[in-house]
Structure 1
Amino acid sequence: MMIKGLYEAHLPVSDLERSIEFYTGLGLELDHIVENRLAFLWIVKDESWLGLWKTDKVELEYHPSIRHIAFQVSLEGLKDSVNWLNNKGYKPREAFGFEPTEPFVMPHNDYAHAKIHFNDPDGNSLEFICKIDNHKKLTERMYLSKWEELNQ
């Protein structure tokens, strides 16, 4: 197969310096800035990065096809994500009807995705996500703690 993975994704931002501070606070590493209007930050060094474009077009209504990035994390990292985000001053948000008190799970046949959502300063939708097994073939969406209880 020709494609090996996703190398880059891009988001619009209104204040490049504020956004660089936000994303480096998430643990991304700034690589370079182009003409004070575009910043590239490594998500995984030498594997994938995020481009932040300074623009006045951030008022576009949110839609996941144009203003959404999901960062892959470990299950252990995800379990601590609400505390981790809150400690950094970032607020998890409601998604798919789940309050941001803990991650939730969306099942898909033999696997599921556990996730938590939050926004950047411009309202771009972000999430931490990890793929998990669904060996009991559960079909209902639920909080991660309930999922783990049912999958013991």
Structure 2
Amino acid sequence: MIKGLYEAHLPVSNLEQSISFYQQLGLTLDHVVDNKLAFLWIEKDKSWLGLWQTDKVELEYHPSIRHIAFQVSLEDLKNSVAWLKDKGYEPREAFGFLPIEPFVIAQKEYAHAKIHFNDPDGNSLEFICKIANSTGIKKMMYLSEWESLLDSF
């Protein structure tokens, strides 16, 4: 039945500024409705992001209402801190990790490597990729530590 996520939505205070921000991240504007709602393709014809202009952006942050995670390749993730900074955006601390490089949260057979940052309205964004965990490690660490640890196996 369910094949994936088609859309997600975020509140924004300035629609034009937010459209520009998300276009710089690589999303493609599809259409704007009444200058209050914009839809941008995350992956053309597969998933998109709706941006709703509102004066109620200052909701208390909670990941269930103001968070989007964008899937990226591991190579792109490794370059994400420099890529964001080149665009004038700052990665942010998450889960106690300073935003100096991506970090890994390991589960049983897999792990997720990620970096977090915010949009102009403080909505929480992340770049994330799933990676194999054939070692069964169940820890959180910086990606460089993860790769060094895997090299020792």
**Residue in 1 aligned with 2:8?**
9
Note the residue ranges of structure 1 that are not aligned, 5 or more in a row: none
Cα distance in 2 for residues equivalent to 1:44 and 1:91: 24
Report what 2:110 is aligned to: 111
Measured against aligned partners, the alpha-carbon deviations of 1:102-147 in whole angstroms (never above 9, x if no partner) come to 0000011100000000000000000000000111111110000000
Find the residue that maps to 1:135 and give its secondary structure: coil
Q: Partners in 2 of 1:108 and 1:137 — Cα distance? A: 7
Q: Distance in 2 between matches of 1:39 and 1:79?
A: 30
Aligned match of 2:62: 63
Q: Does 1:82 align with 2:78?
A: no
1:34 aligns with 2:68: no
Unaligned runs of at least 5 residues, structure 2:
none
Q: What letter is aligned with 2:117? A: F
Take 2:47 and 2:4, find their aligned partners in 1: how far apart are those partners?
8
Could you list the per-position Cα deviations for residues 55-94 of structure 1 after superposition, in whole angstroms to 9, with x for gaps in the alignment? Answer: 0110101000000000000000000000000000011000
**RMSD, aligned α-carbons:** 0.4
TM-superposed CA distance for 1:14, in Å, is 0.2
Q: Across the two proteins, how many residue pairs are aligned to each other?
A: 151
Q: Does 1:47 align with 2:62?
A: no
Distance in 1, Cα, partners of 2:125 & 2:76: 15
TM-score, structure 1 length as denominator?
0.99
Quote the sequence identity (%): 75
1:15-55: CA deviations, max 9, x gaps?
00000000000000000000000000000000000000000
Q: How many angstroms does 1:13 deviate by? A: 0.1
1:129-144 alignment, distance < 5 Å:
129-144=128-143
Alpha-carbon deviation of 1:101? 0.2
DSSP 3-state at the match of 2:81 = helix
Compute the TM-score of the two structures, normalised by the length of structure 2.
0.98
